[in-house]
Amino acid sequence: GDQVEQSPSALSLHEGTGSALRCNFTTTMRAVQWFRKNSRGSLINLFYLASGTKENGRLKSAFDSKERYSTLHIRDAQLEDSGTYFCAAEGAGYNKLTFGKGTVLLVSP
Amino acid sequence: NTKITQSPRYLILGRANKSLECEQHLGHNAMYWYKQSAEKPPELMFLYNLKQLIRNETVPSRFIPECPDSSKLLLHISAVDPEDSAVYFCASSPGNERLFFGHGTKLSVL
């Protein structure tokens, strides 16, 4: 089965609100990355975490290797936050990065 | 992201041969080709680490990677198939770390 389970698959937010995306892992992962695919199709690296939490502006991510999950929190959502968000986790092998299926986020006025 | 450049940006092909090019200006040791179809997650095709190739064995043999030096990556495609229509992303990383993607080449097969 899938090693990375990402949820929700789709999310609608009004401007100014917030929510969280989550990835659960079926095995122990050594690091996680979060990406956003924007309207122009570019894949932007948002975070790389080997442990703990990181914050960048209105985004905050956490990774717990022992509990096998990672989260991406978005607060005060803006229209430009719309896009598809992917988590990707690194397993035991060299750069064996496994992507989640993605979350399609739509932020509306 | 202008530090990983890919060309061409768009490509429309019949059953022809073509090469995609990528160059990274980040000094990274590892370079990758990923394929992303529709709204699926990116799928690793090839990885070069210090010019040593690690391949995904499920990739059809009509895709041939080439790494002429540590900052450049090519993907040669021969006799494309309609199932090859996708966005092909080049990516790089310092090593076993954070991954940076180029803007992608959108391939449409007629």
pLDDT in tens, B39-95: 789 999 999 988 889 888 789 999 999 999 889 999 999 888 888 999 999 999 987
Instruction: Give the list of residues 6+ apart from residue B52 with CB closer than 8 angstroms, or none.
Output: none
B-chain CB neighbours of A95 within 8 Å are 30, 47, 49, 93, 96
Taking the C-alpha atoms of residue A100 and residue B42, their distance in angstroms, rounded to an integer, is 9
Mean pLDDT of A52-70: 97
The answer to whether B43 and B70 have CB atoms below 8 angstroms apart is no
Closest CA to A101 of B11, B40, B79: B40
A8 prior amide bond cis, ω within 30:
yes
Q: Which of A47-51, B35-39, B79-83 has the highest mean pLDDT?
A: A47-51
Q: Read out DSSP for A29-81?
A: -SEEEEEEE-TT--EEEEEEESSEEEEETTEEEEEETTTTEEEEEE-S--GGG
B-chain CB neighbours of A88 within 8 Å are 41, 99
B-chain CB neighbours of A63 within 8 Å are none
- Classified as helix, coil or strand, A87 is strand
Does the beta-carbon distance from A41 to B41 stay under 8 Å? no
Q: How confident is the model at residue A1 (pLDDT cuts 50, 70, 90)?
A: low
Supply the pLDDT for residue B64: 95
Nearest-CB residue to A99 (from B41, B49, B104): B41
Supply the pLDDT for residue A97: 87
Predicted confidence (pLDDT) at residue A48 exceeds the cutoff of 90: yes
Q: How confident is the model at residue A42 (pLDDT cuts 50, 70, 90)?
A: confident
Q: How confident is the model at residue A94 (pLDDT cuts 50, 70, 90)?
A: low
Q: Distance from CA of residue A64 to its chain's centroid?
A: 13
Q: Which of A37-51, A63-77, A93-107, B29-43 has the highest mean pLDDT?
A: A63-77
Supply the pLDDT for residue A103: 97
Supply the pLDDT for residue B1: 52
Supply the pLDDT for residue B57: 79
Q: Which of A9-23, B28-42, B70-84 has the highest mean pLDDT?
A: A9-23
Task: Residue window 60-99, chain A: list those with CB within 8 Å of chain B.
Answer: 84, 86, 88, 90, 94-95, 97, 99
